[in-house]
Amino acid sequence: MLLTGLLASDIATCEWHVGMPLAPLYDVEARSVRSAVDCRRQEFQAGRTCARHAFMALGLQPQPIPVGPDRAPIWPPGFTGSISHSKTYCVAAVGRCSPHLASIGVDIECDDAVEPALASEICLPQERDWIERQPPIDQRRLLTAIFSAKECVYKCQYGLTGTLLGFEALSIELNPDSGVFSAVFQRPLPPFSNAGRLVGRFRFVHGHVVTAMILPLSNPTLLV
Ligand SMILES: CC(C)(COP(=O)(O)OP(=O)(O)OC[C@H]1O[C@@H](n2cnc3c(N)ncnc32)[C@H](O)[C@@H]1OP(=O)(O)O)[C@@H](O)C(=O)NCCC(=O)NCCS
């Protein structure tokens, strides 16, 4: 499984692969993609399909997940989650909100998704220096992993801050041996302090990089 081992066991995860059946959309969901192109409708429906299965894994009935004005999913009261898709896969994670769980972030990317020419837009100087010190054969997928980690942290923090971030807002450190990444905000973003370190996990699997993290309700910077 793509997300196996990346999140705590009380968080339900589900994955979908192109060609697998899709669950029907609720009206409130279908309205959001009524005028979308086919591939966008399919990825949206795949995300809702995964989320339905994750709810069922938690012992709950499937529930609608409308789209917020900011495109973030609106999770049912008392629950939080995250969705990501690549061209061939979709993943979702859903958990019950608690003091230990306020927000979830997941992201999946084809492991060659990011062109090296985009490194200067995505990476801070220290991230580029680190990539350049890695074996050339690994550099593109590590660049993609840094991109994925930033997207994952972005989705996870958004539920708490409602803030749009640029790539320069976060510094990512990957540890390929342990599969742990850390993210440091480059400026204060309440409730996070700058230099506060958030921790997530990543893995390379089936030609993709997958990243995942959670944030608790309190002390969101004390996750090391
Ligand atoms: C939201 C965003 C991260 C999605 O990334 P993506 O690679 O296009 O697509 P993914 O498949 O990984 O994720 C898309 C899903 O993220 C979720 N999503 C969208 N906006 C979100 C938000 N603000 N907060 C949390 N989740 C969000 C949705 O579930 C969406 O799928 P859906 O529309 O089918 O429901 C990206 O489009 C974006 O807006 N980025 C903001 C700028 C940025 O990346 N900054 C760098 C981070 S520091």
Nearest C-alpha to atom 10 of ligand 1 is from which residue?
84
Is the distance from CB of 223 to CB of 197 less than 8 angstroms? yes
In degrees rounded to 5, what are phi and psi of residue 79?
-130, 155
What pLDDT, on a 0 to 100 scale, did the predictor assign at position 223? 46
In the reported structure, the alpha carbon of residue 223 is separated from the centroid of ligand 1 by a whole-number distance in angstroms of 23
How far apart CA 45 and CA 24 sit, in angstroms, is 7
Instruction: Looking at the CA of residue 83, tell me the nearest atom of ligand 1.
Output: 29
Is the distance from CB of 105 to CB of 13 less than 8 angstroms? no
Nearest C-alpha to atom 19 of ligand 1 is from which residue?
72
Assign residue 169 the CATH number of its domain: 3.90.470.20
Instruction: Looking at the CA of residue 106, tell me the nearest atom of ligand 1.
Output: 12
Q: Is 55 exposed, middle or buried, given 0-12, 13-18 or 19+ CB atoms closer than 10 A?
A: buried
In the reported structure, the alpha carbon of residue 181 is separated from the centroid of ligand 1 by a whole-number distance in angstroms of 19
In the reported structure, the alpha carbon of residue 167 is separated from the centroid of ligand 1 by a whole-number distance in angstroms of 13
What pLDDT, on a 0 to 100 scale, did the predictor assign at position 222? 46
Bridge partners, 67 (sequence order): 73
C-alpha radius of gyration, the chain, whole number? 17
**Per-residue model confidence as pLDDT tens for the chain (224 residues):** 899 999 999 999 999 999 999 999 999 999 999 999 999 999 999 999 999 999 999 999 989 999 998 999 999 999 999 999 999 999 999 999 999 999 999 999 999 999 999 999 999 999 999 999 999 999 999 999 999 999 999 999 998 899 999 999 999 999 999 999 999 999 888 887 767 789 999 999 999 999 999 998 765 554 43
Instruction: Looking at the CA of residue 155, tell me the nearest atom of ligand 1.
Output: 25
Of 83, 88, 170, 198, the one to substitute when testing ligand 1's pocket (max ligand atoms within 8 A of C-beta) is: 83
Report the number of distinct structural domains present in the chain.
1
What pLDDT, on a 0 to 100 scale, did the predictor assign at position 192? 79
What pLDDT, on a 0 to 100 scale, did the predictor assign at position 217? 77
What pLDDT, on a 0 to 100 scale, did the predictor assign at position 219? 58
Is the distance from CB of 109 to CB of 86 less than 8 angstroms? yes
Tell me, what amino acid is at 49? Answer: T
| This prediction's pTM | 0.96
For the chain, where are the alpha helices, taking DSSP H only? 27-30, 38-57, 119-122, 125-132, 136-161
Residue linked to tokens 């010190």: 133
In the reported structure, the alpha carbon of residue 158 is separated from the centroid of ligand 1 by a whole-number distance in angstroms of 10
Strands 180-185 and 197-205: antiparallel
Which residues surround ligand 1 with Cβ inside 6 Å?
43-44, 47, 70-73, 83-85, 107, 150-151, 154-155, 158, 165-167, 169-170
**Domain of residue 197, residue span:** 1-224
What pLDDT, on a 0 to 100 scale, did the predictor assign at position 196? 74
